[in-house]
Amino acid sequence: MSQILSIENLAVTLQGDQRVIEDISLEVPEGEIVGIAGESGSGKSLTAAALLGLLPDRSQTSGHAWWRGGAEPRDLLTLDQRSWNRVRGREIAMVFQDATAALHPMLTVGTQITEHMRVHLQLSRRDARRRAVELLDRVRIPDPEASLRSYPHQFSGGMRQRVAIAAALACQPRLLIADEPTTALDVTVQAGILRLLEELRAETGLSVLFITHDLAVLAALTTQAYVFREGRVIESGATEELLFHPRHEYTKTLVAARPQADDWDEPEQVAR
Amino acid sequence: MTEPRMSEPRTPDLDADRPEQAEAEQHTDARADRILARRRWPQRLRVAEIHSIWRQPAVIAAAAILAVWVLLALLAPVLTDDPIAQSPDLYQPPSAAHWFGTDELGRDVFARVVHGARLSLPLAVVIVAFSLAIGGLVGLLAGYLGRAADEILMRLTDLVFAFPQIILAMAVAAAFGPSTRNAVIALIIVSWPIYARVIRSAVLSIRTSDFLASSRLLGVGPWQALRKDVIPNSVGPAVVLATLELGNAVLMLAALSFLGLGPRPPAAEWGAMIAAGSRDLSIWWVSVFPGLAILTVVLAFNIVGDALRDRLDPRTARGVR
Amino acid sequence: MLLGFLLRRGVITVVLLVGVTLVSFLLIQAVPGDTMSATLSEQALQDPEIVAAYRARWGLDEPLYVQYLVYMRNVLQGDLGVSQQTGRPVLDDLLTYVPATLEIALPAMLLSLVLGVAIGLYAAVKHDRAGDHAVRAGTLIGLSTPPFWLALVVLYVFFYLLGVSPSGGRLSTWIVPPERVTGSVVIDSALAGRWDAAWDAIQHTALPVLVLTVLTVAMLVRFVRSAMLEVLDADYVRAARAKGLPTSRVLTAHVLRAGLVPVITVSGLAFASMLSGTVLVEQIFSWPGVGQYAFRSASALDVPAVLGVSLFVAVVYTVVNLLVDLAYGLIDPRIRLS
């Protein structure tokens, strides 16, 4: 199976020689959901930022991030601003942890779903809105027509994340980076979002890089998983193998820290 | 007004520590916010970080300027002529004998500018000290007692904020009658509320923070907590504010004197000197030099205050966006 | 909730206005000696009739709270006392001078907001680089400059040295003022079709507008910069960039839109700075506005006029703040639609 994204020996240094990612290699097979687990500060969010060229100013990177989702393979770490704007949103999209913060409070949902469609796909206003209605319907937002004219604060937390996912999928990207998209939501809402992602993968062949600190979510959703710690990958492999037979001490403590193994079953059934 | 943002523990990679207080203040009181937002307040004085401001050349220059002014003020009687001694040499342009020229009464402008520092600098300190004492006490009481006391005290500060600062100072000084003392009183009256607001918000943020709660669990009484936790933690914002307000006090004192509501003639006061020179543009030296004196002093205070705030506030110091 | 917001703002404003009159009233009480001797001229004090009328009008024989109510009634009727200098009611004086002040304050306000937003956004985008440092140095100098001295310096340079600007006033002496319609010499000249007079009037406004703008822009830029920095750091801006929008679109549609909300709230402060500026600056430019009236009243210790001006300014300022809050409520959908 072909790898749509291969990260080779990624290292990131922030301003002031602060080395936050030491050495990360990672592969995302096409049409699969790959998980990254790790505690805060392990470098998982910065990896996502590096993949979209959204690292803080004056950060330095080394290594490669081979992207095969475009016309030809490219190293994401070497893109200039113009090329970035063709990759971002168009080929790789992102969903953030807190949809409340990630949606502009003063722009209508319609604008936020259609604005990049009009840039990337050169759609007319009408076509973009028609597609937005389909997208909102796809992520199960009730009354999509009316929702286009609403503002984010008029939706519940889970609905907001669905809107954010609709916006991310607007230009039919090949890869979706989801940075803890369910952490801010309560469990039942969380399950719905996970189910949606799995459906999207199955239907459209979307690849997903799913970042989480929740091992239950990892188990429910992903086939491959990477465990990050202090800017390094300390263990990787098939998710089930990783969680039930962890080899690394750190992974063991992570797994042991989960209250009950039974927890994992429920969202798993929901997701499949 | 708005839904509170979900305060999920955020990943520190991209979002470094956000001071909760700024978040909470955002929509609580638009007016207070508007005043406070001009300056972003640090929460705690971090001594180690304060020293690092000396790495900035601008801060060193500002400190040098202030040191020179303090020296000039101290040594003025030795260094210069009598600032109020009149002479027949009226309106002399700058020369070797009179570096800054002479004014309409033949007085040496250099002597008057240097002696002006003997007036402006100590008065600014007095204004800031009293405003800080009054505002600090009010802020501590309001923040610590809460409820009705908080409400009454803060509405009192609202009243002062309802006037543009210099206009209220002008009204107070005019009502009390023009004199140095009344100008100082007027400026204290218009200055204390900003300290009250800032100290109060510092106290509130500490009051709700965990470590005060835990010290309460450990059986620390309210007064002890006030002395040990609240006051030391309000020092940071107070220091930043006081530094900036020293400059502001010099500016406003000059403005009151310019309006004829400050120290009476023949006292050498910068604002009054500018007013005297404004009557005739051809004698530019009479007003230009006192103006430069004000500019350098105020700028120096502002540079130091700004650097302090940056150091004490993780948000603006971060340099990440 | 919008209604609640409006209602709450309205109530706060009314309470504030009552408080403002209370402050004003207390200041009159603070005038040393007999309030009467401070507010009436020597001549008037000699006249028992005037004294009796004065005592009755201000209720001086009644207890303090009655005096306050009397004062409130007078203020509500527009009676701010009589200026010792001009011998006219303070309110009449003020209304005469307001148009002149507006003629420089409004253009300065507009210019300040435009420049403040543009420069502030520029500095925020260039955060911690040369452009940002230059802007920051400039604003610090602007905030540290005494307004009246800056006015004097620009007048010295542009009028005395270069001769490119008039010395002051609203019109050159050889030009017959246009008939008063709006009170703005520029507009009135234009209405009368006298373009030479209009151009002359505009030249007269240039320096005062410049000085007021410099002072206010310095404050605005610092505010806008920090507001924009915060917005640039927000998740929704990162999300907009992650959608691959061009930088121009991110800045205008996303950053500016969110950053303008705090800017609107600070425009009230800009207005206050403008009002304070006119008091300190108009005199230098012989500009016959409220500021010069305040300056002259203060210099001459015309207490009723000074207190009248301060009350007037506070009322205007409070109302402006109310309008600002309302604008804020209307612009932010979170308030408008909840």
Distance CA(A166)–CA(A230), nearest Å, equals 33
Q: Which residue has the higher pLDDT, B95 or C140?
A: C140
CATH code of domain C90-336: 1.10.3720.10
Share of chain A above pLDDT 90, in %: 45
Query: Using 50, 70 and 90 to split pLDDT, how confident is the model at B317?
Result: very low
Of A57, A101, A180, the CB nearest to B321: A57
Check residue C290 and give its pLDDT. 93
> Where are the alpha helices (H) located in chain B, listed in sequence order?
20-25, 30-37, 47-51, 57-79, 109-145, 147-161, 165-176, 180-207, 210-217, 222-225, 231-258, 270-277, 284-312, 314-317
Q: Does residue B269 carry a pLDDT above 90?
A: yes
Q: Look up residue C89 and give its DSSP letter.
A: B
Among A54, A111, A154, beta carbon nearest to C241: A54
Who's near C161: CB < 8 A, 6+ residues apart? none
Q: How confident is the model at residue B22 (pLDDT cuts 50, 70, 90)?
A: very low
Do the Cβ atoms of B320 and A98 come within 8 Å? Answer: no
Pairing outcome for strands A3-14 and A60-67: antiparallel
| CA A127 distance to own-chain centroid | 26
Q: Is the Cβ pair C307, B171 closer than 8 Å? A: yes
Higher per-residue confidence, C261 vs C118? C118
CB-based contact A101 C235, cutoff 8 Å: yes
pLDDT score of B173: 92
Would you say the C-alpha torsion A104, A106, A110, A112 has a positive or negative sign?
Answer: negative
CB pair distance less than 8 Å for C242 and A84:
no
Picking from A41, A105, A179, the nearest residue to B12 by CB comes out as A41
Question: Would you state the pLDDT for residue B190?
Answer: 95
Chain C residue closest in CA terms to B301: C144
Average pLDDT over residues B243-272: 93
Bridging pattern class, strands A3-14 and A207-212:
unpaired
Q: Which residue has the higher pLDDT, B246 or B95?
A: B246
pLDDT of residue B19 exceeding 90, the answer is no
pLDDT band at B313 (very low <50, low <70, confident <90, very high): low
Residue from the list A15, A179, A180 with its beta carbon closest to the beta carbon of B319: A15
* pLDDT tops 70 at residue C41: no
Q: What integer is the mean pLDDT of A144-165?
A: 92
Confidence of residue B251 (pLDDT cuts 50, 70, 90): very high
C-facing residues of A in 133-152 (CB < 8 A) are 151
- Paired with A237 in beta bridges are A225
Q: Which of C31, C140, C284 sits opposite B175 (nearest CB)?
A: C31
Q: How far is CA C41 from CA C81, C90, C304, in A?
A: 13, 15, 11
The answer to whether the pTM exceeds 0.90 is: no
A96 near C CB under 8 A: yes
CB contact under 8 A, C284 and B320: no
| Percent of chain C predicted with pLDDT > 70 | 95
What's the pLDDT score for residue A174?
92
- Residue B221, pLDDT above cutoff 80: no
Domain ranges of chain C: 17-76, 90-336
Q: Are C225 and C135 in contact (CB under 8 A)?
A: yes
Determine the Cα–Cα distance for residues B60 and C6; give it in Å rounded to an integer.
Answer: 49
- Chains sharing 3 or more CB pairs under 8 A with chain C: A, B
**Phi–psi pair at A12, nearest 5 degrees:** -130, 130
Q: How many CB atoms lie within 10 A of CB C144?
A: 22
Residue C326: in which H helix or E strand, if any?
A: helix C303-331
Per-residue confidence (pLDDT) for residue C250, from 0 to 100: 92
Q: What is the ipTM score, two decimals?
A: 0.89
Q: Is C281 exposed, middle or buried (0-12, 13-18, 19+ CB in 10 A)?
A: buried
The verdict on a CB contact (< 8 Å) between A40 and B12 is yes
Helix (H, G, I), strand (E, B) or coil at A237: strand
Supply B204's token pair: 């509130």
Model pLDDT, residue C146: 96
Candidates B18, B23, B166: best to mutate against C (most CBs of C within 10 A) is: B166
Helix H segments across C126-194? 130-144, 147-155, 185-191
Give the pLDDT confidence of A74-109 residue by residue, as tens digits: 899 988 888 888 899 899 999 998 888 999 999 999
**Interatomic CA distance for residues C145 and B169, integer angstroms:** 19
Q: How is residue B268 written in tokens?
A: 């050498």
Q: What confidence tens digit (pLDDT) does each residue in B106-128 have?
A: 888 899 999 999 999 999 999 99
Whether residue B240 is predicted with pLDDT greater than 80 in this model: the reply is yes
Give the pLDDT score at B314.
42
> How close C186 comes to chain B (CA, Å)?
27
Longest CA pairwise span in chain A (Å): 55
Chain segment A217-231, per-residue pLDDT in tens: 888 899 999 999 888
> For position B239, what pLDDT does the model report?
86
Pull the structure tokens for residue A103: 């949606």
For residue C47 the two structure tokens come to 């006249």
Size of interface A-B (CB pairs under 8 A): 49
Cα dihedral B212, B217, B219, B221, rounded to 10, equals 40
Dihedral angle sign, alpha carbons of residues C126, C127, C133, C138:
positive
- Is A106 at the interface with chain C, CB within 8 A? yes
Q: What is the side-by-side order of every strand in the sheet holding A224-229?
A: A74-75, A60-67, A3-14, A18-29, A232-238, A224-229, A33-37, A207-212, A175-179, A92-95
- Condensed to tens digits (0 to 9), the pLDDT of residues B24-48 reads 333 333 433 333 333 333 444 455 5
> Which helix (H) or strand (E) element contains residue A173?
none
Give the whole-number percent of chain B exceeding pLDDT 90. Answer: 39
| Dist. CA A202–CA A200, nearest whole Å | 5
Whose CA is closest to A70, among A84, A50, A55? A84
Whether C310 sits inside 8 A of B171 (CB atoms) is yes
Closest CA to A43 of B14, B7, B319: B14
Region for C96 from its dihedrals, namely left if φ exceeds 0, alpha if ψ lies in -120 to 50, beta otherwise: alpha
Nearest-CA distance C192 → chain B (Å): 35
**Would you say residue B315 has pLDDT above 70?**
no
Give the residue from A158, A156, A165, A167 showing the smallest Cα distance to A108.
Answer: A167
Q: Does A67 touch chain C (CB under 8 A)?
A: no
Catalogue the long-range contacts made by B137-141 (C-beta closer than 8 Å, 24 or more residues apart). B138/B192, B138/B193, B138/B195, B138/B196, B138/B199, B138/B200, B139/B195, B139/B196, B139/B197, B139/B198, B139/B199, B139/B200, B139/B202, B139/B203, B139/B234, B140/B199, B140/B200, B140/B203, B140/B226, B140/B230, B140/B231, B140/B234
What are B282's two structure tokens?
Answer: 């051809």
Per CB-CB distance under 8 Å, the chain C contacts of A52 are 241-242
Q: Which residues contact B193 (CB under 8 A, 6 or more apart)?
A: B135, B138, B156, B157, B160, B161
Please tell me the distance in Å from B10's CA to the nearest CA on chain A: 8
B277-293 pLDDT, tens digit each: 888 888 899 999 999 99
Mean pLDDT of A207-211: 93
Q: Per the CB < 8 Å rule, is C333 touching A96?
A: no
The answer, yes or no, to whether residue B205 has pLDDT greater than 90, is: no
Between CA C180 and CA C188 the distance in angstroms is 6
- Does the pLDDT value for residue C313 go beyond 60? yes
pLDDT for residue A136: 93
Tell me whether strands A175-179 and A18-29 are parallel, antiparallel or unpaired.
Answer: unpaired
Which range among A30-34, B191-195, B259-263, C296-300 shows the weakest confidence by mean pLDDT? C296-300
Query: What is the tens place of the pLDDT at every residue in A46-60?
Result: 899 999 988 887 888
**Which of A167-181, B89-103, C154-168 has the weakest average pLDDT?**
B89-103
Mean pLDDT (chain B) is: 78
Provide, as residue numbers in chain A, all residues whose Cβ is less than 8 Å from the Cβ of C337: 151, 153-154
pLDDT band (50, 70, 90) for residue B12: very low
Neighbours of chain A (3+ CB pairs under 8 A): B, C
Average pLDDT over residues B134-148: 88
Residues of chain A with Cβ-Cβ distance to C243 below 8 Å are: 88-89, 93, 115-116, 167-168
Degrees (nearest 5) of the Cα angle B139, C277, C288? Answer: 140
8 A C-beta contact, residue C275 and residue C139? no
Cβ contacts of residue C26 below 8 Å, gap of 6+?
none
Cβ distance of A119 and C249 shorter than 8 Å: yes
Which of A105, A164, A167 comes nearest C334 by C-beta? A105
User: Hey, what amino acid is at C213?
Assistant: T
Tell me what pLDDT residue A262 has: 47
Identity of the residue in A86, A104, A107 whose CB atom sits nearest the CB atom of C244: A86
Q: What is the pLDDT of residue C241?
A: 92
